[in-house]
Structure 1
Amino acid sequence: MEKTIINPWKWQDQRSYVQAVEVKNVTGTLYCSGQAAVDADGKSSTADAKTQLLQAMENLETVISQAGYECKNIVRLTIYTTNAEELLPHFFEIFQPWVEKHGMKQALTFMEVKSLFETLKVELEATVVK
């Protein structure tokens, strides 16, 4: 697999994402359903957005790993939240170290939505390549 990062500007570098990722010679593509703060028994979290973001990231890592892929090869990530104002103060302190830990270079969309399933406040949807 060959990845090329397209960044016409530098400002996004401090926000832990890239403007575009071109991928060639892929041997597999994994399209992950939205991962949220749901425990192994299927119970949705009632915790705050920060705690839910941490759990959603752990769940996404689990799905990617179980499929035989690596987080470093996430090329597209969409983050949904029901309350951007609640999540943003914690977002970069949690998200940037996670991106750095995995050496990720992904296109990113951050979106506030009216609601998510049950009591969920954060959901992560990813595309991963091999």
Structure 2
Amino acid sequence: MEKRIINPWKWQDERGYAQAVEVKQVNSTLYCAGQAAVLPDGTSSTADMQTQLHIALQNLEQVIHQAGYTCSGIVRLTVYTTSSDTFVNTCFDDYKDWVAKHRVQTALTLTEVKALFETLSIEFEATVVR
């Protein structure tokens, strides 16, 4: 796989995403359902958004790795949250740390929604290539 990041500006680099990602010679593509803070027993977390962010990212990692992919292969990531303000003010630094740790360079969309399933406040939907 050949991956090219398109960033006409520099400001997005500090925010942990790319303006566009071009991928050539892809061997396979994985489309991940939204991964949220659902615990191993199937119950939804009632924790704060920051805690839910960590659980949701762990769940996303588990799906990606079980499928034989790596997080660095994420080319598209959509974040659904019940509060963009809470995400930006309490979770964004943790998200950027996760991006740096896994060398993720992805096109990113942050979307505020009225509600997620049960008590969930954040969900990640990813497209991964190799």
TM-score interval, smaller chain:
over 0.9
**Alpha-carbon separation, structure 2, partners of 1:84 and 1:21:** 24
Identity percentage over the alignment?
62
What is the TM-score with the length of structure 1 in the denominator?
0.97
Q: Secondary structure of the residue that 1:124 maps to in structure 2?
A: strand
Q: Residue 96 of structure 1 aligns with which residue?
A: 96
RMSD between aligned residues: 0.7
**Alpha-carbon separation, structure 2, partners of 1:82 and 1:105:** 24
**Alpha-carbon separation, structure 2, partners of 1:35 and 1:63:** 9
What is the TM-score with the length of structure 2 in the denominator?
0.97
Alpha-carbon deviations, 1:73-128, whole Å to 9, x = none?
Answer: 10000000011222221222201110000111100001100111111000000000
Q: Secondary structure of the residue that 1:126 maps to in structure 2?
A: strand
Q: Residue 128 of structure 2 aligns with which residue?
A: 128
Structure 2 gaps of 5+ residues are none
Alignment of 1:1-130 (within 5 A): 1-130=1-130
Q: Secondary structure of the residue that 2:68 maps to in structure 1?
A: coil
Paired residues, what number? 130
**Alpha-carbon separation, structure 2, partners of 1:86 and 1:105:** 23
